[in-house]
Structure 1
Amino acid sequence: MKLSEIKNHLQNLDQIAFQLPNGKLVPSHFHVTEVGKITKDFIDCGGKVRNETVINFQLWEENDYDHRLHPEKLLKIIELSKKTFNFDDLEIEVEYQGKETIGKYNLDFDGKHFLLTSKVTACLALDACGIPAQKPRIRISELGQTSCCDPSSGCC
């Protein structure tokens, strides 16, 4: 989800809810502790220089049940961050503390909840890193009856 999309969704909500990939909701007393821009410069395994920039939201929860984040407050935080950091309309990445470490998620919306969706890794240079392409699986039964060793061919 891009920055412009979350802003549009927030304008139509009375409350904010984030749902984890397992279906559980982030507790409603969460805070957005950071809104920032993260730039990653790297070289892929094929030697190509790459650059990636995302807008990052960090969600945090603690036993503070009296200060719930409302949509209009998050919109103000986004606008201040956009003005301060000169954000483009970039994709949003969300960080949230799991049991063992911070998880990073993509963001989607189902009409009611913001969905934290799983991120995956992938090779960015499949053509250059030496990993062979998977051969297609073919069923012998799909090849047809063109063999000379077909029992009805008379060759046996």
Structure 2
Amino acid sequence: MKLSKIKEILPTLSNVEFKLENGTFVPEHFHVTEVGVINKHFIDCGGTIRTEQVVNFQLWNANDFEHRLKPGKLLNIIQLSEEKLGMQDAEIEVEYQSETIGKYDLEFDGQHFVLKNKQTACLATDACGIPAEKPKIQLSSLNKGCCTPESGCC
């Protein structure tokens, strides 16, 4: 989800609720402790230099169980970040503590923001030596006469 999308959604909500892809909710007393820009400049295994920029939200649970982040407050934090950091309309990446700090993509299911599991991938599969995926063959499409008891193939 891009920053512009969350800015469209927030004014329509009465509460800001996040949940993990498995359905577990982030405790409702969470804080957004950081809103920022992360720039990544790297080289992939094929030798291509790449850059990536994301808007970063960091969610944190404290022991102040009465805390609730309202949509207007999060919108104000975003607007201040845009003003002070020159933040562009980029994809949002959310950091949230589980066993370790996890990084998640963000989606909206109509009621809740959903932290989607991120996956690693090779960006240079042609240079990496990873074989192409084998085509799937339906067994029913094989010549039916080749492996019958009378065929002599066994």
Percent identity between matched residues is 61
- Corresponding residue for 1:120? 119
Q: What residue is the counterpart of 1:105 in the other structure?
A: 104
Aligned mates of 2:44, 2:76 — CA distance in 1: 37
Name structure 2 gaps, 5 residues minimum.
Answer: none
Q: CA deviation at 1:135?
A: 2.2
| Residues 33-53 of structure 1, C-alpha deviations (whole Å, 9 max, x = no match) | 000000011110101001110
The equivalent of 1:41 in structure 2 is 41
Q: Which has the larger radius of gyration?
A: 1
- Runs of 4+ in structure 1 displaced over 2 angstroms? 137-141, 143-147
Q: In 2, distance between residues paired with 1:75 and 1:140?
A: 55
RMSD: 1.8
Instruction: Name the SS for the 1:53 alignment partner.
Output: strand
Q: Tell me which residue corresponds to 1:72.
A: 72
Distance 2:75 2:44 in 1: 36
Q: Counterpart in 1 of 2:96?
A: 96
User: TM-score of the superposition, structure 1-length normalised?
Assistant: 0.88
CA shift, 1:130, in A, is 1.2
Say whether residues 1:83 and 2:83 are aligned partners.
yes
Q: Does 1:53 align with 2:35?
A: no
Decide whether aligned partners of structure 1 residues 96 and 140 sit closer, same or farther in structure 2, where only a CA change above 3 A counts.
closer
Once residues 37 and 132 of structure 1 are traced to their aligned partners in structure 2, the CA distance between those partners, rounded to angstroms, is 36
Deviates more, 1:117-126 or 1:63-72: 63-72
Find the residue that maps to 2:12 and give its secondary structure: coil
Q: 1:91 to 1:141 in 2, by over 3 A?
A: same
Deviation at 1:22, TM superposition (A): 1.8
Equivalent pairs, count: 148
Cα 1:13–1:141, aligned 2, differ >3 Å: closer, same or farther?
closer
Q: CA separation in 2, counterparts of 1:138 and 1:65?
A: 55
Q: CA deviation at 1:87?
A: 1.5
Question: In the superposition, relative to structure 1, how do residues 139 and 12 fare at CA in structure 2: closer, same or farther (>3 Å)?
Answer: closer
